[in-house]
Amino acid sequence: MTTELEAGVNGLNLEEENKQTPQPSRPQKGAKQQRGGRGNESPTTQLSKALSYILRHGTLKEGLKVRTDGYVPLDDVLARPKVAKIKLERGKTPSLEDVRQIVDSNDKKRFEMIQKDDIWLIRALQGHSIANVTELDHVPITLDNLHILAEEKEDVTLAKDTLPTGVEILHGTNKEAWEKILSSGGLNRMKRNHIHLAKGRPGSSNVISGMRSSSQVILHIDIVAALRQGDIPFSMASNGAVLTSGQGDTGILPLKFITKAEEGKSGKLIWQNAIE
């Protein structure tokens, strides 16, 4: 049985937006409770996490219909108890405008909204574990178009099989997860549809999404070698996250395509692949 830790370890960060928050101690009699209801989380953070969970993983459990492109009617999402119970300023429940503000201000650009026939629809751009969400408008990455990984795509002229200067395909994880990746033979998408990768370290100018800045271990992925093998698809979401469903039906990105591992903060080399 797959544990939540294992799901987060192998590149899936399953329900990263809903990671457990330590429970606050019971307040003493007469003491004021923290605003927000979930530890120290603000109502806005609660709303963002609720949206992430529902749109990435919880549509079926919540009784919602989701399109193959991931879109769900916003009114249906707002009506779910997980969202409706959140109290914003003056006790108001979340509305279209509140959600639109989260979509526009999210630093990782996790969500997207469209209006069709006077109905607002919302989706998560990546990170799904919902099997029928298969048409997310991701751009396939091939040996012929690696230039799309660059920040200035129009000005980049590259030979085939060449990564743009400054682009590294990375995966962030934690120390315990890294040991499991080593022992299991590669990164596994587990319950999610894709393994998440980034085009560089968090904070780089062309990196918005794909890896947590708190990652303890950073793995370097040889995307060119993986593409040459021919049975490992890669794509890029509109927020720049690089995604792969792994090799064939295995859901695994084999260890041979991980060239090295570094400490997240210091960049110190902690492992190098002996396979040439």
Distance CA 216, CA 225 (A): 25
Confidence bin at 56 (pLDDT 50/70/90)? very high
In tens, the pLDDT along 123-165 reads: 998 888 998 888 888 999 999 999 888 865 544 566 777 888 8
Average pLDDT (258-265) is 94
Sign of CA dihedral 162, 166, 167, 173: positive
Look at residues 274, 153, 168, 166 and name the one whose alpha carbon lies nearest to residue 224.
Answer: 168
Q: How far is CA 55 from the centre of its chain?
A: 12
Domains of the chain from N-terminus onward: 4-14+39-124 (1.10.10.970), 139-272 (3.20.170.30)
Higher-pLDDT residue of 172 and 167 is 172
Look at residues 270, 235, 127, 251 and name the one whose alpha carbon lies nearest to residue 184.
Answer: 251
Q: Which single residue is written with the structure tokens 């109905």?
A: 119
Q: What pTM does this model have?
A: 0.71
Q: Write down the pLDDT at residue 275.
A: 72
Distance CA 206, CA 96 (A): 30
CB atoms within 10 A of CB 211: 25
Confidence bin at 39 (pLDDT 50/70/90)? low
* CA–CA distances in Å: residue 186 to residues 23, 97, 162, 175, 219: 34, 42, 24, 15, 11
Does the pLDDT value for residue 36 go beyond 80?
no
Q: How far is CA 274 from the centre of its chain?
A: 29
In tens, the pLDDT along 199-235 reads: 888 666 555 545 677 889 999 999 999 999 999 999 9
Distance CA 258, CA 49 (A): 31
Q: Write down the pLDDT at residue 276.
A: 56
What's the CA dihedral at 119, 121, 61, 86 to 10 degrees? Answer: -90
Whether 129 and 191 have beta carbons less than 8 Å apart is answered as yes
Distance CA 182, CA 67 (A): 37
Beta bridge partners of 244: 195, 234
79 torsion bin: left (phi>0), alpha (psi -120 to 50), beta (else): alpha
